[in-house]
Homo-oligomer: A and B are copies of this chain.
Amino acid sequence: MEKPLATTQRLPKYLAYLKIRQKQGIESISTSRIAEDLNMAAISVRKDLARISNAGRPKTGYPMDALIADLERFLGYGNARDAFLVGAGRLGQALMGYAQFAEYGLSILAGFDIDPALIGSEIDGKPILPLEKLPGLARRMQVKVGILTVPEDAAQETFALMVESGIRAVWNFTAIPLSAPPGVVLQNENLAASFAVLSKRLAATFDEEGVSGEVPCGTFAPPNEKREGGHQS
């Protein structure tokens, strides 16, 4: 009786879109309009929203404010989530300064690092602290969300430290596939892997168009035509 995961992934999209519309002063909106603008199937939007809100009214659609409120409540915003970031390198600093997060109820309170050159500095008013202060502060401030942006070789042990410190949800930006102990929510955000998907999609587009011209034939990889027919007994 758990809700479909796929839906949960679409909801933030609706929310981002609705906030833009709200700024434009629009006060109510129909699922068909959302679907059109977001380039999605109307029935899909209708079902998703029916699931998390009952503010919809025939003929007029959803009141903007109520829909946004329901969406945020369902997604667990409102009680803004405080997070600690570990690994204040370039990516870490970029995330600490990412204004967008505030709109979604995420607030990075501080960054942690072991580099003395970074410790003591601030990003957007948020301090970078020595890593050894993480356990104490996380417990004292009841911070449950952690963002992991350390170098690969430190990923595993840093993750362990975060879990020991009472952090219950980790957003992992390293390429290391960590596995979460029971009770800990882990989300891997492998940017390089995401790019791979894009790359694959672009290649597929060329294939469809028959622009296959020069095949991406590697150096040695054999033709490798799977089940190329032949005859079988």
Q: Which of A's residues lie within 8 Å of B, judged by CB?
A: 2, 8-9, 11-13, 15-17, 20, 37-39, 53-54, 69-70, 72-79, 81, 90-91, 93-95, 97-98, 100-101, 103-106, 144-145, 168-169, 171, 175-177, 179, 183, 185, 187-205, 209, 216-221, 224, 226
Contact = CB atoms under 8 A, between A and B. Distances in A.
A202 B39 CA distance: 30
B104 A196 contact: yes
A198 B187 CA distance: 6
B145 A199 contact: yes
A145 B198 contact: yes
A189 B173 CA distance: 13
Contact of A70 (B75, B100, B105, B221): B221
A62 to B, nearest CB: 13
Given A11-B196, A169-B202, 15 more contacts: A8-B200, A9-B197, A12-B193, A13-B188, A17-B177, A39-B179, A72-B218, A74-B200, A75-B199, A75-B200, A76-B216, A78-B221, A103-B192, A169-B198, A187-B194
B218 A73 contact: yes
A82 to B, nearest CB: 11
A110 to B, nearest CB: 17
9 contacts: A38-B177, A54-B224, A76-B200, A94-B94, A101-B195, A106-B195, A106-B199, A144-B202, A183-B205
Contact of A175 (B16, B77, B192): B16
A116 B93 CA distance: 22
Nearest to A91: B94
B11 A205 contact: no
Nearest to A53: B224
Contacts of A209: 183
Nearest to A71: B196
A149 B215 CA distance: 31
A98 B169 CA distance: 24
Contact of A106 (B101, B185, B192, B217): B192
Contacts of A104: 192-193, 195-196
Nearest to A168: B202
B216 A195 contact: no
